[in-house]
Structure 1
């Protein structure tokens, strides 16, 4: 159940070699009766039944499954809180996976209720990742400098060698972060447009409850437009289910540069059969694959023929004005910590789970870029697919590889608009 609900994003190797017509994409998973049955099972058995059972070694797996369901579908009810109460009461006896799932689920749907319990866990937690989960939960409730300093002091006390642990180094930076001024986006367009490599830009808000937009820049520097010359934009959500910070597993999509390796079709029902973009974080897999080295022997250890190391090469994917812009290092940090399998995909999840939320009808995942898809629940065919449109736009010119850059543009409390993106492009001399 962990793997089913966690959207671990294991994909098949089936490569999409050409553009896919939307009308050819179908799945029975979205049919009305199956959606109704799934929701009933999730609410009644996976959550309510498991969370109402006394917690012991025999029932723990059920509690684990319930936590995964809560954080993916954002279920919030008295029975959910009852389950959390049981888990905190028996925290010391839980397995690592159950502890992590509990802390993620509590972060997802109970932002203030469990400060006392999470504080007690943090005070004695010896695992760095679980400590970080507790710290970000408590920091979200109180973002004062004094509280941040208190958390950092506790980290140093409990982990004297914290500066050798990647997740704790990033936690320290997160607790100290002051948002810098973003460089001119036109400089990024011009620089990437001169590289001869296709680039997708995913523009997001700092508050990831609000959807973003992606655009495609061709290898010649031009942007993909429709037959009438209108810029093509594609709705994407970069919010994870629990909404955790970028450096934690199952957190929001990190900002920075991803390497597009091609396209594939997922074997995961919740992602669905629409072609996705396979991507690598920096440090995920071979450096030669990440940098698209023609000579596969080059870059295996993160070095080029000129001796540049992987960090230098990563920064060189960006123009000089952007290389010291710290948000572009989120993807680098996430890769160093061990996040993997962040891709750009569609969704078969019923958006009705998220009615009333700012990102509706888009659906969150466990850290990927998820495009809007709406399905016909009678026939199982796609009605709307921003994902298929994005993949087809990327494949409209030769080549299946390139880069994707995720950028938070500002903190407006609304979805990113076409007008904003067109303004960015109109300020760019190469459009």
Structure 2
């Protein structure tokens, strides 16, 4: 596999085709076959990373260093060669292009939480690009979450960026500095009120219930337009494992960072040609600012978004009043404002063995999308387990292909969200509906 081809795959920006849900037994990927996986692993180590990092770093080889960084963080490729290459990139940091710098910093954040703290602190003191500064600041805060360090970073923001109040990524960084060590989870009552508010919207909704620490997988559930939740014929609630962690693990306000909390507009379903995402149909999502507001809010094609309309106010109407002042629920809004896009809910063909020692195993981190659990038969290329297929089947089993998807960090427990937790919330909501009907 050529280096540029790998890079394009990692960027996840390939064509989509709208398609109906195929039969499960017809879904096939040769990319998951055992020999193909072995060849990819060999190519990543020897060519994409090895040859790139062992060559001198200059303007002619820089693109290969960038591609290597993206491969390292996506597939968790840690060895002496990777660290040697990253160290060389720090030495020549000032000569690098913006995209190369960002790829390198994202890789360092995702792979080496402590080893490069001195280099990051030096960079933090002189970086003039707001986005690169924000990555270095997040690295510093994770290493030292004290109020003293947060105050130091806040001081640097003001000194190095006098107009920071007009720079969205720095505004979000300021919120992050405040909330990083003082996370406040929504209460069960908050979440039940959100389930109730769906009847104001009258649209199908998917809730992706996550941990604040995205190393641990979450669960998705589907609420129909009539307010009921999707259940199996035996009465069990349908739940679907879903990871909202990016490969780098960076905060939501960094492109390719963790999936932002908040509200996404479901625009339908599609199938991608991207081999890393795979052939299982995916859910097409639109963030605030990503497309026209009329598209985001499912207004008619002839509707006109008046200049006087307040986009944030309209966005907040998708939440019950009790949650409208919670900054966590506006992460998607401001992430979209600063340029994040192309977040979808999809499956994966990536070999989970790259992550066998990680808390999210056997799920797969991405570049900020919502990724459901998918396991493949490496002998015949067929699906073994697919929460993505099951989620899509549940969503399209009732009328309509549009609606909203809410990503919510329900708490900060250091374990995967369980079926029991989700069922408890839904049962409390349903008990309230029964009482209200009398």
Query: Which TM class, normalised by the smaller chain length?
Result: over 0.9
Partner of 1:366: 367
Partner of 2:161: 159
- Asked whether the equivalents of residues 11 and 264 of structure 1 are also in contact (C-alpha less than 8 Å), the reply is no
Partner of 1:25: 27
Distance 2:27 2:83 in 1: 39
Matched, 1:292 2:293: no
| TM-score, normalised by the number of residues in structure 2 | 0.94
- Asked whether the equivalents of residues 222 and 430 of structure 1 are also in contact (C-alpha less than 8 Å), the reply is no
Matched, 1:235 2:241: yes
3-state DSSP of counterpart to 2:219: strand
- With 395-404 and 114-123 compared, the bigger mean Cα shift is at 114-123
Deviations 1:354-377 (A, max 9, x none): 001111110000000000111111
- Asked whether the equivalents of residues 260 and 335 of structure 2 are also in contact (C-alpha less than 8 Å), the reply is yes
Partner of 1:6: 10
Partner of 2:207: 201
Distance 1:192 1:318 in 2: 9
Distance 1:181 1:111 in 2: 25
1:274 to 272, 280, 298: 280
Distance 1:383 1:181 in 2: 35
- 1:29/1:181 CA distance change after superposition, 3 Å: closer
3-state DSSP of counterpart to 1:430: helix
Partner of 1:45: 47
Partner of 2:184: 180
Unmatched 5+ stretches in structure 2:
none
Aligned residue pairs total: 424
Deviations 1:154-198 (A, max 9, x none): 111111001101111111111112323414211111111343210
- Asked whether the equivalents of residues 30 and 375 of structure 1 are also in contact (C-alpha less than 8 Å), the reply is yes
Deviations 1:38-89 (A, max 9, x none): 0100011111221122212222121111100111111111111101111011
2:261 to 255, 258, 271: 255
- With 190-199 and 413-422 compared, the bigger mean Cα shift is at 190-199
Deviations 1:90-140 (A, max 9, x none): 111111111000000000111111111111122221111111111111111
- Asked whether the equivalents of residues 28 and 279 of structure 2 are also in contact (C-alpha less than 8 Å), the reply is yes
1:36 to 32, 35, 38: 38
Equivalence map 1:18-417=2 (5 Å): 19-177=21-179, 178-183=182-187, 184-299=190-305, 308-417=309-418
Structure 1 position 10, deviation (Å): 3.0
- Asked whether the equivalents of residues 25 and 382 of structure 1 are also in contact (C-alpha less than 8 Å), the reply is yes
- Asked whether the equivalents of residues 185 and 410 of structure 2 are also in contact (C-alpha less than 8 Å), the reply is no
Distance 2:214 2:184 in 1: 18
Distance 2:153 2:377 in 1: 49
| Coordinate RMSD, CA, aligned | 1.4
- 1:100/1:216 CA distance change after superposition, 3 Å: same
- Asked whether the equivalents of residues 132 and 167 of structure 1 are also in contact (C-alpha less than 8 Å), the reply is yes
Distance 1:400 1:269 in 2: 25
